[in-house]
Amino acid sequence: MRVKVMRPIFQPEGNSKFVLYPYWIFHLKLFYKRLGRSDRVLDYYAYVDLYRLGAERGDGFIELYEWDVNENRIMGPIVDYEEAKMKAFESAIHWGNMKIISWWLPRIEIVMDVMAYKVFWVFKRDGEKFVMDSLDGKGFRLKDLTRIERRPTCRRLRCR
C-alpha cells in the first residue's frame, strides 16, 4: 500500500520496525474583516490527530514522502475527514482571534489538505521494547504505553 508519511527526523540506532499513525494536515487561509482598518489574511497549518481529535498548529506544511508499506503497519483512523476539518477550523479560529480583533468570524479557505502518517519506531534496548516518535525523538517504554489501569467493577459500586 502506498501512503504519505511525514519526513522522519529521528530514528533509533540499530534494527527497528515502525507503525504509522494517522493525521489530516491542513493549510488554511483565514480572511478577517475589520471595521475602519484593512482586512487581514493569515495562514494557518493544522495537524489533526485522527485518534485523539486534537489539533496542533504547525509553522508550515511538513515535508512528505511516499512509502510502500504493508497494511499491518498502518493504524486506521477513527476520526473522519469532516470531524478533522471542523477541529482544524476551530483551532484556526481560536488562534486567529488571539491575533486579530474583528467583529466577525473569519472566512476560512482550505488551501491544501492531505492525510499523512507520523512514523513511530518500535525497537529493543537492553531487552525491553521502546517506541520513539520520529518527529521529536522522544522514546517511551512500550509496556508503559500499553498498561491497563484497573477500574472498580460495577458490582463493587452497586451499579444497576
Per-residue pLDDT at 156 exceeds 80: no
At 25-66, the pLDDT tens digits run 999 999 999 998 999 999 999 999 999 999 999 999 999 999
For the chain, the structural domain boundaries read 2-157
| Average pLDDT for the chain | 92
Q: For 117-150, how does the pLDDT look when each residue is reduced to its tens digit (9 = 90+)?
A: 999 999 999 889 999 999 999 999 988 877 655 5
Instruction: Encode pLDDT of 74-91 as tens digits.
Output: 999 999 999 999 999 999
Cell numbers representing residue 11 in the block: 530514528
DSSP sequence for 90-137: HHHHHHHHHH---SSPPEEEEEEEEEEEEEEEEEEETTEEEEEETTT-
- What is the SS3 string spanning 57-95? EECCCCCEEEEECCHHHECCCCCCHHHHHHHHHHHHHHH
